Homo-oligomer: A and B are copies of this chain.
Amino acid sequence: MKSKGITIGTLSKRTGLAPSAIRYYEDQALVAPGRGPGGQRQFEKADIRRLSFIMIAQKLGFSIREIRDQLASLPGHRTPTAKDWRTLSERYRGELDRRIATLERLRDDLDGCIGCGCLSLDKCRLYNPDDSAARHGPGPRYLMGDRPDSGSDTGDESVEIDE
């Protein structure tokens, strides 16, 4: 048993991730290495695959939080098998399809609506607040969907924007 575990430096070279990034991922509970007698992190081989998965998921635009949730579905009591990983990553298929569909819809709307130069806030389907092509995660979007009251605004009295 060469059971000493992989050091963070080695793992860094293997995955291309900076040690600081790996420590950060531990902080975010994406990996949970053991510790040696001196306090050093000891990773397992399986962690290489785990980090690989994380990198791919990031590339697909998932946030750390989402990735953590996804990883939570792995069996905790044993080292994940190739099949576990396959099952997990197959979900991305659907997500990607959905994302492509969103972009295609956006493109069609663009053809139909911006294409005409109207850019009207009231009529334009582009203003559907539900789909942004951007990531779902980043920046201060924690109050997205918070559109102001629009309260005592009866008509669209003067919204037309011709000149």
Q: A interface vs B, CB < 8 Å?
A: 12-16, 18, 45-46, 48-49, 52-53, 55-56, 58-61, 79, 81-83, 85-86, 89-90, 92-93, 96-97, 99-100, 103-104, 106-107, 110-111, 114-121, 124, 126-127, 131-135, 138-139, 147-148, 150, 153, 159, 161-163
Contacts and interface: CB of A to CB of B under 8 A. Distances in A.
A49 B161 contact: yes
B134 A61 contact: yes
A116 to B, nearest CB: 7
Given A79-B163, A117-B86, A100 B97 contact: no
Stoichiometry, as copies per complex, reads 2
6 contacts: A16-B148, A18-B148, A48-B161, A52-B121, A90-B115, A92-B110
